[in-house]
Amino acid sequence: MPLYVDRASGARLWDVDGNSYLDYVLGQGPALLGHCPPAVVAAVTEQVARGIVYSAQHAAEARVAERLCAMVPAAERVRFNTVGSEAAHAAWRLARGFTGRPKILKFEGHYHGWLDPVLYSVHPSLDDAGPQDHPRAVPGTAGQPPAADLVICPWNDLDALTRLMDEHAGQIAAVVTEPVLCNTGAIEPDPGYLQAVRELCDRHGSLLIFDEIITGFRLAPGGAQEYLGVSPDLSVFGKAMAGGMQVSALAGRAAVMDAISSGKVAHAGTFNSQPVGIAAAEATLRILDEQREEVYGTLYARGRQLMTGLRAAAAKAGVPMLVDGPGPVFQTYFTDAPAVRDYRDFARTDRAMMARLHTALLDRGVNMVPRGLWFLSTAHTEADVAATVEVFEDALRSLPLG
């Protein structure tokens, strides 16, 4: 039975029947400060009374762009969109327009929005996916045209990436990656992997694009690029940057971004820099920037507390489970494997059992992403986490294992 939400506040949801849930979905990640943070609510309420849409420039968008550039290591210019799929699409177009090259290399298991050019090889069946070293471009839905100028590569496999870039030398406009893979588990890059990707892009004259729709502002004030110490040429942001309002951003090096401002590459949208969303972004980024020690200290502390508790609960219940990820976002997997490093590892975990766990938790008042992903917010308390661990252990014991 789907969850029909009536309202949300802090770390909780209430459904239309009045049931309360501790929420670790957080709108698929945006509610980093919890649902309805007072500063964001106030900013949005004030702006709605001043205007909802202008189709003109306004001062707040400049202030948000300036703060974003100050926070994000690789941001020198910014363009705004409404949702993440738009920003990702803009990044791919800009890469092709700037380099004059046709091809994009994306990684198997990585998600960059639902639009036709990008929705390939996100969660393909292993029968359709092709060989590990040369994956096929598998459509994500009926109704998509054949993949055009798309190279699919396994992630965390530097040998495969090196070989594919050599095979397509002079043709690849950009390599696109989630710097921490959060749409397929919560998989961090192997040590040195993204640094090597950066070096390969430089060697081949290809741009490096980070899709930080999930990782942006969740892992650090400067996103995964700050967390991991690797700077891309272009980055896309969304979700947590506006506390739940619909705002996304394309940011990057001035030399690349100026292809838009010069008119060489088109980037348009009636609701770009929509003032209500920008007001939410301004309020959210101010908190994340100016209160960074408190915000990120809380996120990592709660994440570690919950991950440790879930591991202990699984061990106590005798259930083979891997709990892995940075902390502010992490994944639970039903598996005996010691690690999950790419999509194919993820596909071999027991995802049907994870779906049953999701249902068991929801029945007990805890909401996680059905595939086993957990998001933390600053609104989650130590008591919330302790209660979640207790519920988690009970839910595990209710499942038919083996």
The torsion of the CA quartet 283, 375, 84, 203, rounded to 10 degrees, works out to 110
Using CA atoms in the order 123, 126, 132, 138, what is the torsion angle rounded to 10 degrees? -50
- The CA–CA distances, whole Å, from 47 to 18, 36, 40, 278 equal 31, 16, 11, 9
CA distance from start to end of the chain: 25
- Decide if 295 contacts 376 (C-beta within 8 A): no
CB 82 within 8 A of CB 242: no
Distance, CA of 327 to chain centre: 14
The two tokens of residue 184 are: 């397929």
Could you list the active site residues?
Answer: 111, 211, 239
Using CA atoms, how far apart are residues 240 and 31, in angstroms rounded to an integer?
6
φ/ψ of residue 21, rounded to 5: -135, 135
Report the C-alpha gap between 230 and 31 in whole angstroms: 26
Q: Are 206 and 134 in contact (CB under 8 A)?
A: no
81-109 burial string, b = 16+ CB within 10 Å, else e?
A: bbbbbbbbbbbbbbbbbbbebebbbbbbb
3-state secondary structure of 150: strand
CB-count exposure of residue 65 (10 Å: 0-12, 13-18, 19+): buried
The CB density around residue 14, as the number of other CB atoms within 10 Å, is 15
pLDDT string in tens for the chain (402-residue length): 689 999 999 999 999 999 999 999 999 999 999 999 999 999 999 999 999 999 889 999 999 999 999 999 999 999 999 999 999 999 999 999 999 999 999 999 999 999 999 999 999 999 999 998 889 999 999 999 989 899 999 999 999 999 999 999 999 999 999 999 999 999 999 999 999 999 999 999 999 999 999 999 999 999 999 999 999 999 999 999 999 899 999 999 999 999 999 999 999 888 899 999 999 999 999 999 999 999 999 999 999 999 999 999 999 999 999 999 999 999 999 999 999 999 999 999 999 999 999 999 999 999 999 999 999 999 999 999 999 999 999 999 999 865
One-character DSSP codes across 157-200: -HHHHHHHHHHTTTTEEEEEE-SSB-SSS-BPPPTTHHHHHHHH
